Amino acid sequence: MTALSLAEEGCNIIVNYVNSKTEAEELVSVLQGKGVQAAAVQADIASTEDRARLVEKSEALTGNIDILINNAGPFVRERRLFSDYTSAEINSLMQGNLLGVMELDLLMLQGMRKRGWGRLIHFGFGHAAEARGWPHRAVYAAAKVGLVSFTKTLAVEEAPFGITVNMICPGDIRGLNKEKTISEVSLLEDEESPRGRPGAGEDVARVISFLCQPDSDFITGNIVDVNGGLDPIRTHIK
């Protein structure tokens, strides 16, 4: 939904995927139908080598990267104590949710600085800015809370160069709802959501599109909850 929203604003799009080649190529076809350039590039954000290859291929295809949507992030839905994680799982979660984001930003910053314009969007979870403990999500939560601090710091450092840095914190938007519009979910019921309906991909996409507007340059360092009032931590603690 974010790709479609930005394409409607006239942005050329690079779609990153890990395993979903068919779906990525289908999306690219839809984007090209909107009159913009689009391509799909395979890369695992948790891999240093893949991150470098993603940037190299993307720049070769587009010339410049002015907007980076750092929405990739591995997540273990199974509720698990920290003591039950393996070292490999911890490393993967930290690479995918914090270190990989930082390194991708670093690879983009020099070009954005030279052009005097850039938009960096990070992804967190609801109420991440409060840095509360999240039992059974220790590694993921630690990575995202660290990303909150990094988002705020980088926003201050890069503001003089015309680069904004913000974080989007979606609610529990699951499955096919990620690909739906607001009108498609407006009549559905969600008992967990204070709003009463489930979230849709468009809920997130419309906020990102706004933050990427040229005139949104005074909005930076913000952590934006898009969750219908749902508190994921309090909801799931028993």
Q: Which residues are catalytic?
A: 140
| Residue 177 DSSP symbol | G
**In terms of Cα–Cα distance, which of 139, 77, 68 is closest to 102?**
68
Exposure on the CB side of residue 140, measured as CA atoms within 13 A: 19
Rg of the Cα atoms in the chain: 18
Q: How is residue 119 written in tokens?
A: 């938009």
Buried b (16+ CB within 10 A) or exposed e, 78-92: eeeeeeebeeeeeeb
Distance CA(68)–CA(165), nearest Å, equals 10
Neighbours of 76 (CB within 10 A): 14
Distance CA(149)–CA(116), nearest Å, equals 23
Query: For 139-234, where are the E strands, in sequence order?
Result: 163-170, 223-226
Which residues, in sequence order, are CB contacts of 217 under 8 Å at separation 6+?
A: 162, 164
